[in-house]
Amino acid sequence: MKYYLLIFCLSILGSCQFHKDKQSPQREMLPDPELLEHDGYSAENISFKPDTSVNMISLRNNENIEKYLGKDIMTKLNKETDIPSVEVLTKDYKQCLTLSFYPGNAKNEFSEFTISNFKERGKSNQIIINENEFITESGIKLNMTLGNFKTIKGEPDTIEVVNGNLLYKYEISDMKKSDFLKRYAIPGYYAEYLFVNGYLVEFKFGFEYP
């Protein structure tokens, strides 16, 4: 009799635990730590090096512009904004490179590049290229993890939280000490990288508007 009573009690306890587990909300999954850090990464060993090019075009350099984007790119500038710009889309329409033309720039010279996921198709200032992604000379590209990104760029000068997402900011502003700025005769350079859930979804870099 005691044996059957024990079996009955255990079955009741098991049933109660089952219903308790079934009703309990599932624990929220945290992002994979490897998205945020990378094995062997050390900020002390990495100094920020500015990017100046995407694919085969460079900041403030008209070389390859017409070969890469066509001869009529200046006619496609959107001049309705303070800073005229033109959008370059990958052939699959998934990525967008925005080239910003500062007043005073020479023909086919652009001072800021912005790379983002494609948002709107059919604008008059868009150009389609025969490539699937945009990548800088240091290997920065959309959808890379924050951990991998930091192994290339190191720690930022500042980090901002934008709608719960991380915005990494870098700048070079001391023209007296920077050979990079002296070479371009520009007072400042900046770069910003937006991460959502540990992945790079948008970034831009360029020179300060005079």
> What is the per-residue pLDDT across 50-80, written as a single tens digit (0 to 9) for each?
999 999 999 999 999 999 999 889 999 988 8
Is there a single domain that holds both residue 172 and residue 208? Answer: yes
User: pLDDT per residue over 95-147, tens digit each?
Assistant: 999 999 998 899 999 999 999 997 676 676 789 999 999 999 999 999 999 99
pTM recorded for the entire structure: 0.79
User: pLDDT per residue over 168-188, tens digit each?
Assistant: 999 999 988 999 999 998 899
Is there a single domain that holds both residue 120 and residue 171? Answer: no
Sheet containing 126-128: give its strands across: 126-128, 85-89, 95-100, 112-117, 199-207, 189-196, 165-172, 158-162
User: Which domain does 210 fall in, by range?
Assistant: 32-42+137-210
* Overall size of the chain counted in residues: 210
CATH number for the domain spanning 179: value is: 3.30.1450
Residue 95 confidence (pLDDT):
95
Is there a single domain that holds both residue 82 and residue 120? Answer: yes
Residue 24 confidence (pLDDT):
39
Contacts of 99 (CB under 8 A, 6+ apart): 57, 85, 86, 87, 88, 110, 112, 113
Is there a single domain that holds both residue 59 and residue 122? Answer: yes
* Number of CB atoms found within 10 A of residue 203's CB: 24
Is there a single domain that holds both residue 129 and residue 157? Answer: no
Q: Are 130 and 56 in contact (CB under 8 A)?
A: no
